[in-house]
Every structure is written in C-alpha cells, then in structure tokens.
Amino acid sequence: MRTVRVGLLGLGVVGSAVARAILEDHGMAERSGVRLELAKAAVRDLSKKRAVNLPAGLLTADPAEVVNDPQISIVVELMGGENPAFDLISSALSSGKHVISANKEVLAKRGDALLTVASEAGKRLVYEASVGGGVPILNPISDDLLANRLNSIRAIINGTTNYILTRMSSEGAAYDAVLQDAQQLGYAEADPTADVDGFDAVYKIAILGRLAFGTSAAVEGIHREGIGRIAARDFRYADELGFTIKLVAAAQRTPEGLLLRVHPSLVPLDVPMASVNGAMNMVEIEGDLVGPLWLQGAGAGPEPTASAVLGDVLRVARGLDGPGSVVSARVQSLPVAPMSGHICQYYIRLTASDRPGVLAQVAKVLGDAAISIRSVIQMDTDAESGRADLVIMTHSALEANMQEAATKLRGLDVVVELDNLLRVESYGQAT
C-alpha cells in the first residue's frame, strides 16, 4: 500500500480532528488504498495544550518546515485568514505539493491567484471544507453535476446565524439575548461580526460563484446584509404570512449575469430550506437536468469539517481530480450582475402613526415607484403612543425601485421608522 506524507498548517479545532483521524487511520487506508502519514504540523504557540497528542518532533512553530519538506506531498492549510495563508499555500504549490484548504477567506479573496499558481505548478488546490463544513458541495458541483447548466444556488451556509435565527423563531426571543447565549454556548465567536454581519456567507458564496459559474467577484462587491435588524416580531408576522426568516446566500443566473447576494430573507414555510434549523447548513442547487437538489448537514465542527478535509486529501492522494482547478476552466464565465436589478417580493415593516390616511400615503410612495401592494396588515398597536406596526407585502418589484421607495417612506411624517425591509425568496409561485 502506498504511503502519502501529509503536513498540516494549523492544529486548532479542525487541524486537531484531522490529525487525530490520520494518526488513528480511522479505517481510511483500507477504504481508500492509501495510507496517510502525518509528517509535521505547524502552529503559532508550541506551549498551547492541544486536543490531540502528536508523536514527539512533529510539532513546529515554523510553517516553512512544512511547506519546504521534500518528504511531504500534500499540505493541509487549516490556519485561516488571508495572510500568511496566501503566501504559504502559494509556496507549497510552487514547491510541488498539492494543497487542501478549509480557508474560505483566502479562497474567496485570493482564489483566482492561488488557482493560477496551482495550475502553473501542475498541482491540485482543493477546498471542499471551505463551504458547508462537512456537507459535500464543491465536489458534487464540479463532478456529479457537470452535465448541468446550473441556474441557481441558494444556501444557508452560516451555522451561527441559523442557530440564532432558529432560536429567535422558536422562542420568540430577542436578537441580543440569543446572540449572548450563543456566545456562551460556543456557537458564536466573542467577536461575532464575521458571522452575524454576513461576511462568512459572502466568502462562501464567492467561492460557489467562481466554482459553479466561473464568476470571479470581489467580495466587497457582493451585496451583504446581516441579521442584526431582525426582531422577534418579524418572525411572528412572517409566520402569520406563511414564512420564516433565514440568512440566505445566493448565486443566481440572470439576464445581466450572475447575481450574488447575502441577506436575511423570508422563506416560504413549505420549502425544504425553511426547516433547516440550528447550526445546520443547506445548499439548494438548481440544474437544468437534475432540477432542484438539496444538500444538508453539519456546516461546521471539528469532525464534520475533518470529514470534508480528509475526503479531499484521500482524493488527491489517490490521484483523482478535485474541484476548483477543473470547473472554472470549463464553464463560460458570467459577469457580476448588479443587485439593483434583482426582482422579488418585499416584506416591509413600518412603525407608523395610528391615524387615518397613513396607508394612502404609504401606498402612493410605493405606487409612484411602480410597486404594487399584495397585502397590508396592521399588527401591534400601541394606544398610548398612537403608533402601530404596519406590515406590507408587495408583489414582485425591482430592487432599485424598492430602495428609492424606502428612502421616500423614511421621509414621510406618518412613518416613525422603517424597521425592516426584507426580500422574499421566490420558488416559482405566482407573484
């Protein structure tokens, strides 16, 4: 049986699980026909307690020892962040090693450059674990679904925000309270910005956009909204209307090109995405031959992520193709479409003065922007302050028109606040 020597860059949450599985073999040699050998692991702090016991001499504080070791043929980058990961991945590829990475940030921001280095070096750069943790997504797209012209990918690809939204929905709890609890339970980082403001989902949808549609989008150019404005009452109102609320990341083929967007959306209660709860991830792919397809599972965590990482390691060790370097060369690349051209229904929640004529003024602003109202519901009314929650569902409208109308609505005397403006995910129903 062939032995393939593997070097790790990073031995944290994921790196430790990967190292443990390699050291214990986990039946991988028998299943794959290749024996993996852990040759070296680079960390920042040699004195830190690890979740895995490595044989003496394997740990180093110098990543160059991994990248330059002639005995290592596969480098697994599990450090995270843009730098020094970018330089280390580039060096490893240039010095003739295949690289496996779970690092969505570096792949979203510098993926084109890294794939070029890989292609020039004739080496593989594969990164299944960077999107959806343990859920196989990139390999199915670049392999099993290659016969399809993909039309759209919509996904719940951030477990932290899905956990928070699920608890807000089921408990009627406020965002801040659930976030705090999620931090204590380890579902959210001490600094939750990357998750709750949508950056993590943007990185992942950028990777999917490049892989599935050949579109290289600058991450700063991808429309991004976080979940911070969602209130418990939005779930209550959405539910009455037949929806729940999810942070959706989407890459969709439109006449203008590929539309990439990350924002909270109303999702109909009767579609599979609506029942993806807790820290689970789901990716919904629509291809012209296969139709709609749903891939669901644990989007993070040491073992699920190690499953994806090691799947890539074994694929490369066995000399098989991986995603990334293959598909983008085969698909016709689509330009990035502007968010202003997006068309969907909208949910608008306003705090308005509870007096006659309010609705007429709101309807006029929307009508002037060519937006027609599908339904209006006056929800909680506060007699003391003379204010009421007004929830408006529109018919399909153009994003540019909706944004213009939103600005005007905010300027109306009768509108105390435009509390929330949420898009509705369309599933081919009549609008």
What residues act catalytically?
Answer: 204
What b/e string do you get for 1-39 counting C-beta neighbours within 10 Å, with b at 16 or more? Answer: eeebbbbbbbbbebbbbbbbbbbeeeebeeebebbbebb
CB of 47 vs ligand NAP, minimal distance in Å: 9
Stretch that binds ligand NAP, among 77-85, 136-144, 150-158, 347-355 (CB under 6 A): 77-85
CB-based contacts of 134, cutoff 8 Å, min separation 6:
297, 298, 299, 301, 303, 304, 305, 307, 308
Hey, which residues between 108 and 137 contact ligand NAP (CB under 6 A)?
129, 133
φ/ψ of 218, rounded to 5, equals -70, 135
Could you tell me if 130 and 158 are in contact, meaning their C-beta atoms sit under 8 angstroms apart? no
Nearer to ligand NAP, 75 or 336 (CB): 75
Specify whether the backbone of 120 is left (phi greater than 0), alpha (psi in -120 to 50) or beta: alpha
CB of 46 vs ligand NAP, minimal distance in Å: 7
Regarding 92 and contact with ligand NAP (CB under 6 A), the answer is no
Specify whether the backbone of 257 is left (phi greater than 0), alpha (psi in -120 to 50) or beta: left
Regarding 13 and contact with ligand NAP (CB under 6 A), the answer is yes
CB of 226 vs ligand NAP, minimal distance in Å: 18
Distance of alpha carbon 385 from alpha carbon 62, whole angstroms: 64
Regarding 384 and contact with ligand NAP (CB under 6 A), the answer is no
Stretch that binds ligand NAP, among 44-52, 190-198, 230-238, 249-257 (CB under 6 A): 44-52
Return the amino acid letter for 140.
Answer: P
Could you tell me if 39 and 6 are in contact, meaning their C-beta atoms sit under 8 angstroms apart? yes
Hey, which residues between 148 and 187 contact ligand NAP (CB under 6 A)?
none
CB of 41 vs ligand NAP, minimal distance in Å: 8
Residue from the set 6, 22, 28, 43 that interacts with ligand NAP by CB under 6 A: 43
By CB atoms closer than 10 A (0-12, 13-18, 19+), residue 428 is: exposed
- Run of H or E residues at 292: strand 291-298
Regarding 297 and contact with ligand NAP (CB under 6 A), the answer is no
Could you tell me if 112 and 215 are in contact, meaning their C-beta atoms sit under 8 angstroms apart? no
Stretch that binds ligand NAP, among 6-14, 19-27, 218-226, 242-250 (CB under 6 A): 6-14
Stretch that binds ligand NAP, among 79-87, 257-265, 369-377, 423-431 (CB under 6 A): 79-87
Report which DSSP code applies to 336: B
Site string for ligand NAP, 248-287 (x = CB under 6 A): ----------------------------------------
CB of 103 vs ligand NAP, minimal distance in Å: 4
Regarding 80 and contact with ligand NAP (CB under 6 A), the answer is yes
Could you tell me if 294 and 169 are in contact, meaning their C-beta atoms sit under 8 angstroms apart? no
Residue from the set 98, 104, 204, 423 that interacts with ligand NAP by CB under 6 A: 104
CB of 165 vs ligand NAP, minimal distance in Å: 19
Stretch that binds ligand NAP, among 12-20, 31-39, 282-290, 318-326 (CB under 6 A): 12-20
CB-based contacts of 194, cutoff 8 Å, min separation 6:
200
Distance of alpha carbon 135 from alpha carbon 4, whole angstroms: 25
Which stretches of the chain bind ligand NAP, using CB under 6 A?
Answer: 10-15, 42-45, 48, 63, 78-80, 84, 102-104, 129, 133, 300-301, 305
